[in-house]
Every structure is written in structure tokens, then in C-alpha cells.
Structure 1
Amino acid sequence: MELNEFLKQIKGRVLIAGIGNPLRGDDAVGSYIVKALSNEKINAILIDCEDKPERFIDKIIQHKPDTVIFIDAVHMNHEPAAVVFLKEENLLHTGISSHQSNLKMCIEYIRSKIKTEIFIIGIQPENTDFGKSVSEKVLGVAEILKNILIQALKK
């Protein structure tokens, strides 16, 4: 889905969940973006799941969001820092794989408990080696996405 189509579908109470392991380079991008957004005045609930989204399912459900946006490093065989905007069905029913195989189960469980629209912002990592920092390419796209979300969700 294109960026403009994605932005038009964000409605109501919004929850953004960042996913990523802070010790594995670009894998940390989802957490990085959520942490960066926490300093901004936006109409969204922010949760940094790090690399354990399953631990935050109940918290997500308790907020009863109309829209849930997961931000995650996703291996798509694209150029590093490529971004895709996916509806949950795209993750659940295609070959696109997140580094978090349990994200699919988390989405299915959330869907079984509350009525919400679920989206994934997937970012192609360049390097997920242990002990590495987020790469310059992925940091650049993370800043752009942060600014897009600030504009879309500003108070």
C-alpha cells in the first residue's frame, strides 16, 4: 500500500508499537522510532515492545485502540531502508517475513479480542549483527517516518 493510502486509514484511538532488539543493529528500528516519538506531542499511545511483542498483547488490548501500527524491521529482499506499509493480511498471508515470527500470532490474538485495524510499517534492515548500531541508511528513513507520523498524529 502507498503512504497516502496508509495515512488515510489511520483512524480514532491510535496505538503505535515499536519492535526491535536494541543489540542487533537495524533490528532496533521499531523501538528507535517509538522512543523518538515519545518526546513529541502526538495523539497516539506508544509502546516499546523491544523484541518481545507477545509480552505487550494484554496492554495493547486494554487500550482498545481503533488502529494499531506495528513498526518493525522486516526482511523483504529489498534495498536496505526500503519501507512498506502493510495491512495485517499482507503479513499473515504472504511470504513477507518479520524477524519476529510470533508477530503473526500476536496479531491474530489481538484480532480475536478487540475490533481494530492493524498495520505494519516494515523497514528493510541493512545489518542485524549482534552489537551493531542502527545503520545510517535505516536511521535516515526512521527520521523521515517519525516526522510523517508526527504530522499525521499531531495534537
Structure 2
Amino acid sequence: MKINWTEVKEKIRPQISKPSYETWFTNTTVYLEDDILTIYCPNEFARDWLESHYKELVFNTLREMFNTTFEIQFELKSNTNKTSNNEKSTIEDITSELGEQFKVSNNSLKYNDVDESNKRIRALEEKIMNLEKVIGTLVEKLDAVELKTQLEK
């Protein structure tokens, strides 16, 4: 049996919020051997979160789509080193993964990349640190004004 993971994810997509889908499912791939479906996750946190919060949803979606049950395992993408006859990187899988990374929206190509999110997070953290410095300066000035006012009394 062959599973098109992109189709499975598309069936899951409307059942959860968009941010949850993009955070937890977009960067996953799968490998099926016998009735064991291994979902490869980009990091340990994603693996643990998917297993504890979405395993049942994945299980039920697969059962509904394929009228059979699968044992579901979650592993890190770094554990994808299988022997050549277990290779999951078929052209179809690769194009599905690329389809997840590149999306056409309003006729413009958008690259969904974790690095972009990390850059945004770093930029926001810098802005917050700068605001904290400004607030600290303002508090110092306010304290100085209050002290001056008390001394004048």
C-alpha cells in the first residue's frame, strides 16, 4: 500500500487551526512499511507534540481514508537513514514535500520557511529589548524628576 502524505495532511488541515497545521504538519514526511507508518518530524519538540496531541487525529484520518488501521510512530528526520530498499524518497514524495514548501497564493509564490520565522522572532526580540531600554531610561528620568520635586518641597 502507498500513502500520499500530502493528501492525508490535506484531510487533516480543516480539522485544526491554520497555525497549528503549519507549525506541526507542514514539515513532516512519512515512511510506510507493512502497517507501520513512521512520521518524521523536524525536531524533538515537534515529535513529542504531534505524538501527544495529534496521534489520534492522524490515526482516525488514516482509518477513514484507507479503511484500515496503522501503527503510528514518530521519529526525528535525522533517523531517516534506511537501507536502499526502504528508501522513501520517491519522486512523488519529493514533489509533495516541495509542494508544502512552495505555495501559490494570489498568483505570488511564497516560501514557507522556518528560517524566515526565526528571523522574524529575532527581529521582534531585538525590538522588545530596545523598548525595554527606552522604558528603563524613561523610568530613570521620571525618578529624577520625582526626586527633584521632593527636594524642592
Q: Tell me if TM exceeds 0.5.
A: no
Structure having greater relative contact order (Cα 8 Å, sep ≥ 6): 1
Interval containing the TM-score (normalised by the shorter chain) = under 0.3
With the length of structure 1 as denominator, give the TM-score of the two structures. 0.26
Q: Say which structure is richer in helix.
A: 2
Q: Say which structure is richer in strand.
A: 1
With the length of structure 2 as denominator, give the TM-score of the two structures. 0.26
